[in-house]
Chain A
Amino acid sequence: MKVLIPKSKPAKGAVGKTGLWRTSKPVVNHNKCIKCVICWAFCPETTILRFEDNSVDIDYEYCKGCGVCANECPVNAIEMVED
């Protein structure tokens, strides 16, 4: 019997488009954002998109809407809105 070991390589969206799980979504207010990238560091699913100038946006295909980014933002530049 060939042994099947449940191992896997890290890959984007290994269990599918987790954005479908969301009930509310984070929205970045770019006027308020100070580009500290704290949201990027805290996001448990690495769905904060970080650009060269340290501005950020959300990868809505995979963001589960947990709200950690909105909670951690020091200037309240991220708001959770119903999806």
Chain B
Amino acid sequence: MSIIEDKKSLSNVKVVTANEAVALAVKCAKVDVVGAYPISPQTSIMEYLTKYIETENIPMEIVRVESEHSAMAVAMGAAAVGARAFTATASQGLLYMAEMVYWVGGSRLPVVMAITSRAMGAPWILGNEHTDVLLPREWGWMVLFPEDNQEVFDTIIQAYKLADTTLVPVVVGLDGFILSHTTMPISIPDQSIIDNFIPKNTPKPYALNTEDPFTHGNAVHSNLYLEFRHNIFKTIEDSEDLVDEIDKEWSKLTGRSYGGVIEEFLLDDAEVAVLVMGASSGDAKEAAKKVREKYGIKAGVIRLRSIRPFPVKRLSKIAQKVKAIGVFDRNMSPGLGGMIATEVKFALYDLKNRPIVQSYIGGLGGKDVKIADFENILVELKEMVDGKREVEKVKWVGLDLAAIEKFLEEV
């Protein structure tokens, strides 16, 4: 639904970057404590929050710390006493924070963290890619990935719902620079809608209590650890429907639905589809429309919105319809394939009539990916379906090896 159609909240339209959309959502979620440490492209989230505290006198505490490791430790400590906690990071910052991210996942504390995606050194790099956002999917966190600024705002709110319900912390990933620093109009729902959607009085069996003291994460013997990990596994596995339900509930209140775990675009009659996350999805959708017009190829887009829970059920249904899926990964698992492509193959392997799955890797370090690249992917997929092209383990998009040779010769 466009902003103009959404008359109910037209008065609350703001034109903001995705980072400000994150900050507005954190404010509207009435977060109590924020652990803050700067790193591009996330820094302005904290700057906006600081501005709100100064100018609007909201009861939020921002703790400025000496590292990302401590930023997550602050969020963990706040969540452990039952406060609503938030932090944000990216790239190298997430790597430095990693130990505490794992502790929060294991402790079942409903922290929400925004990661403005950015590639990691070496070589030193600022550009966007999704590898950092995907890492916490192995660390006991849910991982959601919105497409545009409005969805970023809505997904932060939904993330608190998901975290409070499952006691699994949630990462909301957004494309660094491409989204974090791009301005778009967003509609902000009435505060009462948000207050009712994510009430603060949910059960908190994890909350420390001075009347009945206990500790988090004390040592256990080997006969218990597997069971705790199994519990995290099952909770996340069982949350696929919950992500869909939360999306539906939000849509009833605001008129905005994103399809839950997966947004399906032109998939009803699609023979080939590209699977993609985040801001590039808009280009992929344009490409699907173009190859339909130009070549009559029945093309669609599978926009992956939830990486954890991984939408095995929804994906399996889609896989019954389409004959080939090209998974475009703006990330990689070195020597194997795209991280999402490997997961898609795992998810679909047991199907009797599974589609072709081709892994595409591109856009690493912020390298431009164009509509024409997605058109090319869709055309190639059609050729694979027709038996005119071989499926390869991995195909690279925009790889220019001559340019790197020239660069190194000049060093």
- State in angstroms the CA–CA spacing of A10 and B212 once bound together: 11
Asked whether, in the complex, the Cβ of A5 is within 8 Å of the Cβ of B215, the reply is no
Asked whether, in the complex, the Cβ of B214 is within 8 Å of the Cβ of A14, the reply is no
Asked whether, in the complex, the Cβ of A5 is within 8 Å of the Cβ of B218, the reply is no
Given contacts A1-B235, A15-B221, A16-B221, contact A6 B228 (CB under 8 A): yes
Asked whether, in the complex, the Cβ of A1 is within 8 Å of the Cβ of B238, the reply is yes
Asked whether, in the complex, the Cβ of B107 is within 8 Å of the Cβ of A5, the reply is yes
Complex partner residue of A3 from B213, B216, B219, B235, CB under 8 angstroms = B235
Which residues of chain B come closer than 8 Å to A16, judged between CB atoms? 221
Asked whether, in the complex, the Cβ of A3 is within 8 Å of the Cβ of B167, the reply is yes
Min C-beta distance of A11 to chain B, whole Å: 9
- Tally A-B pairs: CB < 8 A: 50
Interface string of B208-234 (1 = CB under 8 A from A): 000001111111110000011001001
Complex partner residue of A8 from B108, B206, B214, B231, CB under 8 angstroms = B214
Complex partner residue of B219 from A2, A5, A10, A15, CB under 8 angstroms = A15
Asked whether, in the complex, the Cβ of B235 is within 8 Å of the Cβ of A6, the reply is no
CB closest residue in chain B, given A7: B214
- State in angstroms the CA–CA spacing of A6 and B106 once bound together: 8
Asked whether any CB of chain A lies closer than 8 Å to the CB of B255, the reply is: no
Given contacts A14-B218, A15-B219, contact A5 B108 (CB under 8 A): yes
Complex partner residue of B205 from A1, A5, A14, CB under 8 angstroms = A5
- State in angstroms the CA–CA spacing of A14 and B218 once bound together: 8
Asked whether, in the complex, the Cβ of A5 is within 8 Å of the Cβ of B167, the reply is yes
- State in angstroms the CA–CA spacing of A4 and B219 once bound together: 15
Chain B residue total in the interface (Cβ 8 A): 22
Asked whether any CB of chain B lies closer than 8 Å to the CB of A12, the reply is: no
Which residues of chain B come closer than 8 Å to A10, judged between CB atoms? 213, 215
Asked whether, in the complex, the Cβ of B106 is within 8 Å of the Cβ of A1, the reply is no
- State in angstroms the CA–CA spacing of A9 and B218 once bound together: 9
Min C-beta distance of B141 to chain A, whole Å: 15
- State in angstroms the CA–CA spacing of A41 and B293 once bound together: 79
CB closest residue in chain A, given B108: A5
Which residues of chain A come closer than 8 Å to B221, judged between CB atoms? 15-16
- State in angstroms the CA–CA spacing of A18 and B220 once bound together: 13
- State in angstroms the CA–CA spacing of A56 and B253 once bound together: 67
Asked whether, in the complex, the Cβ of B227 is within 8 Å of the Cβ of A4, the reply is yes
Asked whether, in the complex, the Cβ of B231 is within 8 Å of the Cβ of A7, the reply is no
- State in angstroms the CA–CA spacing of A4 and B107 once bound together: 9
Min C-beta distance of A27 to chain B, whole Å: 28
Asked whether, in the complex, the Cβ of B218 is within 8 Å of the Cβ of A6, the reply is yes
Asked whether, in the complex, the Cβ of B216 is within 8 Å of the Cβ of A4, the reply is no
Which residues of chain B come closer than 8 Å to A7, judged between CB atoms? 206, 214-218
CB closest residue in chain B, given A3: B167
Asked whether, in the complex, the Cβ of B206 is within 8 Å of the Cβ of A5, the reply is yes
Interface string of B12-49 (1 = CB under 8 A from A): 00000000000000000000000000000000000000
Which residues of chain A come closer than 8 Å to B234, judged between CB atoms? 1
CB closest residue in chain B, given A11: B218
Min C-beta distance of A66 to chain B, whole Å: 17
Interface string of A31-63 (1 = CB under 8 A from B): 000000000000000000000000000000000
The 30 listed contacts between A and B (C-beta, < 8 Å) are A1-B231, A1-B234, A1-B238, A3-B108, A3-B166, A3-B205, A3-B231, A3-B235, A4-B231, A5-B108, A5-B205, A5-B206, A6-B107, A6-B108, A6-B218, A6-B220, A7-B206, A7-B214, A7-B215, A7-B216, A7-B218, A8-B214, A8-B218, A9-B213, A9-B214, A9-B215, A10-B215, A14-B218, A14-B219, A15-B219
Q: Taking beta carbons and an 8 Å cutoff, which residues of B are in contact with A? A: 106-108, 166-167, 205-206, 213-221, 227-228, 231, 234-235, 238
Q: Taking beta carbons and an 8 Å cutoff, which residues of A are in contact with B? A: 1-10, 14-16
Nearest first, the 5 A-B pairs at minimum CB distance are: A4-B231, A15-B219, A8-B218, A7-B214, A3-B167
Q: A4-B227, A15-B221 are in contact. List 14 more A-B contacts (CB 8 A).
A: A1-B231, A1-B235, A1-B238, A2-B231, A3-B167, A3-B235, A4-B108, A5-B108, A6-B108, A7-B215, A7-B217, A8-B220, A15-B219, A16-B221
